[in-house]
């Protein structure tokens, strides 16, 4: 597929995922046509038990930060729905910090055809995430 040039042989995919805690890149850029459907994201009640179990598994003394990754600009629904979704999810998660200043959208070019952040999009979002987290973490 499109990752063949980046990864080469399949052992390189394994190495990359091992070095990046299971993360994998998706390639290409998503250029969505005007009028593309805007998803109406909702928090599924089926996630409540899983969310509460996750919170219960956080070790004592660890802080839980909760935020959402951005979506492509062309499919962004109007309004503040992402912030409400985050607050609703936090009712189950009880995070120590809500990351409400992360970008809700990024330009479509930062997403692969599958809707995931591509390599450049990951770099852009990671920089925004680092800026947001830096106010809460003491780097020494």
Strand partners, 98: 66
Q: Is the overall model pTM greater than 0.85, yes or no?
A: no
Structure confidence at residue 35 (pLDDT)? 61
pLDDT tens readout for residues 27-61: 666 665 666 666 667 899 999 999 999 999 999 99
Name every residue whose Cβ is closer than 8 Å to that of residue 82 and which is 6 or more positions away in sequence.
41, 68, 104
pLDDT band at 73 (very low <50, low <70, confident <90, very high): confident
Name every residue whose Cβ is closer than 8 Å to that of residue 13 and which is 6 or more positions away in sequence.
3, 7, 24
Name the more confident of 9 and 104. Answer: 104
Examine the pLDDT at 133 and tell me if it is beyond 90. yes
pLDDT tens readout for residues 77-131: 776 788 889 999 999 999 999 999 999 889 988 988 767 888 899 999 999 999 9
Return the SS3 of 80.
coil
Q: Give φ, ψ of 44 to 5 degrees.
A: -75, 130
């Amino acid at each position: 597929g499109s990752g063949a040039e980046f990864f080469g042989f399949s052992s390189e995919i394994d190495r990359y995922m091992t070095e990046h805690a299971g993360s994998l890149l998706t390639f290409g850029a998503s250029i969505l046509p005007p009028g593309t459907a805007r998803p109406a994201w909702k928090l599924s009640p089926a996630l409540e038990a899983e969310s509460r179990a996750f919170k219960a598994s956080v070790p004592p003394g660890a802080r839980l930060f909760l935020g959402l990754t951005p979506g492509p600009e062309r499919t962004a629904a109007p309004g503040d729905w992402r912030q409400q979704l985050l607050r609703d999810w936090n009712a189950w998660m009880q995070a120590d910090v809500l990351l409400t200043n992360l970008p809700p959208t990024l330009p479509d070019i930062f997403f692969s055809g599958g809707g995931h952040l591509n390599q450049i999009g990951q770099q852009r979002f990671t920089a925004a995430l680092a800026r947001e987290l830096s106010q809460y973490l003491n780097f020494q």
